[in-house]
A and B are shown apart, each in its own frame.
Chain A
Amino acid sequence: MQLRVDKLGVIIAALAAYGAFLAPFATFRANRIVAGEARSISEALPPVWAAIILLFVIAAAIVAVLKTPSSLRLAIAFSTLAALALGIGAAAGHLTPPENSYARVSPASGFWVLLFALGLLAADALTRLRPSPLVRVLFLCGVLGFIAAVLMSGTWDGLSLLKEYAGRADTFWAEAGKHVMLALGSLAAATIIGIPVGVLCHRVTRLRDGLLGVLNAIQTIPSIALFGILIAPLGWIAIHVPGAAAIGIRGIGAAPAFVALFLYSLLPVVANTVVGLAGVPREANDAARGIGMTDFQRLAGIEFPLAFPVILTGIRIVLVQNIGLATIAALIGGGGFGVFVFQGVGQTAMDLVLLGAVPTVVLAFTAAIVLDALIEMATPNRNQVQSA
């Protein structure tokens, strides 16, 4: 048997070697404020744990360097990631002196580099395996389930990130609710309004160019600028329109953030509706007309179902974008995970930043995978959409 070397694998192995042997695995701080002290894998973990982790990493590096089947690469990548996830929890327990509630242990650069290297290995193997949409979603559920199980089991409770969480569990879920409300609520509003507007634009050419131009310009405006600009008119409405303040319209807070996210969402929804409808084959429309379908029947029964995958692509763009942009709402008092990010930046507390950033990234990532799978399932024939 001839052994061949995988180029990407060499890079992954080099990264993993750096992460495991040269960079610190965990950072120990005597309290929340002081500078951290770096600890390598052998210092941060009990000997048995350190040996297990190093064995996993070395095995993964060997599998990565040699040309091996993608399923094996995927399996070793995920099991090593799982070992790392449990290991960092063990490090927290090992490094924190007993009865000490001030000490903080957090993952250090070596941990993140290992995570990145193994993530690359897993992503490459997954890309090559080309799993079906359903399998991808199941995979995602498996990973999220594993993370949830580790969180529930308390393995990570000693980590600084979780200590930040423990101090503000109530606020965390309240801000999480606001974040999801902002991202999903503005998407729902944009879908309800954007799809009919898109249909209208498809029918009336003159309206299309003008409206898409304006929406395009809005999309270009940086989020915080748009949030700020909207504070003035919404504040005016709150004061001068009776009843507006009662339903929560105010100059600052969630209202301008919601309106801004809604405006950002319109372009992808409207534009993709137009593109989707324009891509409906002429023959389909002619046949529908031939059998005597009314305009509305044709729209609901023929055009819309055929354009649906393209419209869904617009919704995917909006959802991922909104989840990210909702973070900035915190700057104008709109709440969301951004609250922790900006508080953390203000206090130079990295763990607090992570408490806001990690859930945002997980949410955006989950949304992207689920919607990509939905789009693929809704697309009967790939060529059709590409020609659209």
Chain B
Amino acid sequence: MLRLPNLFRLLALTVLIAFLVQPQWFEPLLRPLVQENAPAIYNQGSLLQLTLLHLRTVAIATAGATVVALALAILVTRTSGAEFLPLSRSLVNIGQTFPPVAVLALAVPIFGFGEKPTLIALFLYGLLPIFENALTGLTTLPQSIMEAARGTGMTGRQRLLKIELPLAMPVILAGIRLSVVISLATATIGSTVAARTLGEVIIAGLQSNNLAFVVQGGLIVAVLAVLIHDALQAAERSLGSRMGR
């Protein structure tokens, strides 16, 4: 179980938590990056609190995006919604050419500054990968299984809940993982519109020419993103193997 990559992840997680709880332990390491009397550890807020706020924003947005995207994907893959299927695919493709920053910046005039535009941008942009993967998952089910399910007299609802969704689940989960990774990144930029996320540390560092702030903010976000990505991937794998795929 404890192979080298996992050992490495465990180490990264330990250091990350230690840094968030007791940042001053790491002060000597960051000291060389700043001028004589500038602070080496972020001093305009608690790093731990910012991290939690960052994660909360991503969690709320992703939860909302998952529910809506999944509902939409189910809707357009039913016979009654088939008219929307071709358009849905094009819309996902078109939507993904919009840079997340543009979505974020354009949400500001409508929703003002702060958490709100960030949440909206994260939600809207997070919809796309989940919707795309759910469509792929629900439209590429093996024909034989679908016919067998129909043959045993299952209703549409039973087929959806017992056959289609479980079979499509690994692909859907991969979409959620993609969405989370994109959201973590976009939430970081959200601090340019005054949302309280870890991007604040990087931006403060850039504005006050404090390299230590930039580096610590960057590293926390980077380690957080890689660890969350790997954890979700591991969860997908264990779920996949439990379902015998």
Q: Please count how many residues in chain A sit with their CB below 8 Å of the partner chain's CB atoms.
A: 51
The residue from A8, A232, A331, A360 contacting B83, defined by CB atoms under 8 A apart: A8
The residue from B101, B108, B219, B226 contacting A229, defined by CB atoms under 8 A apart: B219
- The contact string, 1 if C-beta is below 8 Å from chain A, for chain B 162-192, is 0000000000000000000100110011001
Stretch from A44-52, A80-88, A93-101, A321-329 that touches the partner? A321-329
Q: A220-B229, A361-B97 are in contact. Are A327 and B221 (CB under 8 A)?
A: no
Provide the bound-state CA to CA distance between A223 and B187, in Å: 11
Provide the bound-state CA to CA distance between A217 and B8, in Å: 13
Stretch from A190-198, A296-304, A344-352 that touches the partner? A344-352
Question: Residues of A contacting B33 with CB < 8 Å?
Answer: 232
Closest chain A residue to B209 by CB distance?
A252
B211 to A225, Cβ gap below 8 A? Answer: no
A-B interface pairs (CB < 8 A), number = 143
The residue from B84, B102, B199 contacting A224, defined by CB atoms under 8 A apart: B199
Q: A225-B218, A228-B215 are in contact. Are A364 and B99 (CB under 8 A)?
A: yes
A220 to B105, Cβ gap below 8 A? Answer: no
Closest chain B residue to A216 by CB distance?
B229
Secondary structure at the B interface, as helix, strand, loop or mixed, is: helix
Question: Residues of B contacting A126 with CB < 8 Å?
Answer: 90
Q: Tell me the smallest distance from the CB of A314 to a CB of chain B, in Å.
A: 15
Secondary structure at the A interface, as helix, strand, loop or mixed, is: helix
Question: Residues of A contacting B219 with CB < 8 Å?
Answer: 225, 229
Provide the bound-state CA to CA distance between A48 and B214, in Å: 57
Q: Tell me the smallest distance from the CB of A243 to a CB of chain B, in Å.
A: 23
Binding site for A on B (CB under 8 A): 5, 33, 83-84, 86-87, 89-91, 93-94, 96-102, 105-106, 108-109, 113, 181, 184-185, 188-189, 192-193, 199, 202-203, 205-206, 211, 214-215, 217-219, 221-222, 225-226, 229
Binding site for B on A (CB under 8 A): 6-8, 120, 123-124, 126-128, 213, 217, 220-229, 231-232, 235, 251-252, 320, 323-325, 327-328, 331-332, 338, 341-342, 344-345, 348, 350, 353-354, 356-357, 360-361, 364-365, 367-368
For the complex of A and B, 6 pairs with smallest distance between CB atoms: A324-B99, A222-B185, A228-B218, A225-B221, A357-B102, A225-B218
A-B contact pairs, 9 of them (CB 8 A): A8-B84, A224-B185, A224-B202, A232-B215, A332-B206, A342-B192, A357-B106, A365-B97, A368-B93
